[in-house]
Structure 1
């Protein structure tokens, strides 16, 4: 190999090697679109994925033959194989089995809904929930994606990342206002993250939905890396400022317990 062969230089690959990767990326994009927006017509699936209809159809047909997509009455949705594959995330030794007992104990003790979320820039993805017992219960669909800037879980996930990573992520954030309390500028958000690091917990102060507050703390893995956020959400009337510190401390103890299980 010599430098005169550009196709073989470090960092370069042949066209025949990049095309399968590009196809895989597009196929995964289509799967994500079905999970977020489906069931969809072919045209809507293509539009959400940023593809032309013929490319989207070929990808959907391939996903269908493998069981990852299905078509019913002209609408495309997620197939049963996607569900079966996703169950591996719940397997023994993983994050959710480690967190579930602690989350259930929190609900028993406090009566409020407890969530587990992971980072998928520029959003958080909710991967597990233990529902509260009150008449007014907070519910978030498992798999739902919510912008980082307006959630306690998002702040807890991002606050302890390296400064360079935080800067990169903030550049990608839209700062869409959802309520009058939403943080809508990078400067305000970065200042909020500083407060999160200082206090050890994050607060969503009706920033996503008026009348709903959330307290969140980070969850660390065996390498002391933040891999998830544990949060408690409740109507604002049940989560006044006077209870924030108490609930944050209880969440922190639960998070430490989850980390202990992950380190075994």
Structure 2
């Protein structure tokens, strides 16, 4: 277990927050469940102060009542934070073989992305194997979720209020003349993404680049990220895009199954796209 940070205003902290986090640590150290008096004693707090802090943590879902309401346990919100942390750390490792396979099959650039709050973050990438290839860079642009296939594959499945929050924070920057910069047009486009099961960026983020994306789901059916494949526009004929799409959706479905997604549809991939 990592050491606890120093507490108190003298160390640049806020006392109430210090105490709240200490209470969570105390419950965790006790095996995930402890009585109020035990928590107060371990945290060095009087029972009344401890109870007020626990009430606030309870309101936020970080603490819940234990059996017969005689104790307190860590709440479900802790699991939410834990899942987000594990997803960021564990997703690239679990996705590695699928990203490599998609790169082998299409010979094009493949990326794995997640949303961190309102930021689109690319966390894994494989470069194209063609002599002429897309040079999109690893990091991408945190403001470009609305203009990229990786971003739109995630945005399409977010609650409307969350989509509005992201757009309010990041805006709808026009990266190319093809970028969607109207919120209502974006929402209509995302409805098509949901219906089709994949997203497409037709030179919306970078001129001369076509990108297809598909959402990744976890055991709860929640979208946890996306995977995409990018190709130069000159190579992206309708047949070529269709081949990339089949490989992409197969990889996304199988990776989602690996992540525990219920009812993911597996599709048989077509033959590997030929080299130039």
Same fold (TM over 0.5): yes
Scaled by the length of structure 1, the TM-score of the pair is 0.62
Distance 2:16 2:139 in 1: 32
Q: Residues 168, 16 of structure 1: CA spacing in aligned structure 2 closer, same or farther, 3 A cutoff?
A: same
Number of the residue aligned with 1:103: 99
Number of the residue aligned with 1:185: 182
Number of the residue aligned with 1:134: 130
CA deviation after TM superposition for structure 1 residue 138, in Å:
2.3
Number of the residue aligned with 1:197: 194
Equivalent position to 1:163, from 147, 160, 176: 160
Q: CA offsets per residue over residues 7-41 of structure 1, 9 Å max, x none? A: xxxxxxx96335999xxxxxxxxxxxxxxxxxxxx
Q: CA offsets per residue over residues 241-260 of structure 1, 9 Å max, x none? A: 34333322221110111122
- Do the aligned partners of 1:126 and 1:140 also contact (CA within 8 Å) in 2? no
Scaled by the length of structure 2, the TM-score of the pair is 0.60
Distance 1:108 1:176 in 2: 33
Distance 1:123 1:151 in 2: 13
CA deviation after TM superposition for structure 1 residue 120, in Å:
2.5
Query: Do structure 1's residue 17 and structure 2's residue 16 form an aligned pair?
Result: yes
Equivalent position to 2:118, from 117, 122, 129: 122
Query: Do structure 1's residue 226 and structure 2's residue 254 form an aligned pair?
Result: no
CA deviation after TM superposition for structure 1 residue 174, in Å:
1.4
- Do the aligned partners of 2:99 and 2:110 also contact (CA within 8 Å) in 1? yes
- Do the aligned partners of 1:213 and 1:239 also contact (CA within 8 Å) in 2? yes
Distance 2:121 2:140 in 1: 6
- Do the aligned partners of 2:109 and 2:231 also contact (CA within 8 Å) in 1? yes
Residue 259 of structure 2 aligns to a residue whose secondary structure is helix
Distance 1:172 1:197 in 2: 23
- Do the aligned partners of 2:106 and 2:247 also contact (CA within 8 Å) in 1? no
Instruction: Choose 1 or 2 for highest CA Rg.
Output: 2
- Do the aligned partners of 1:150 and 1:208 also contact (CA within 8 Å) in 2? yes
Number of the residue aligned with 1:216: 213
Distance 1:163 1:261 in 2: 28
CA deviation after TM superposition for structure 1 residue 197, in Å:
0.7
Provide runs of 4+ in structure 1 moved above 4 Å.
18-21, 88-91
Corresponding pairs, count: 183
- List gaps (5 residues or longer) in structure 2: 1-12, 21-85, 262-276
CA deviation after TM superposition for structure 1 residue 218, in Å:
0.3
Distance 1:190 1:245 in 2: 24
CA deviation after TM superposition for structure 1 residue 169, in Å:
2.4
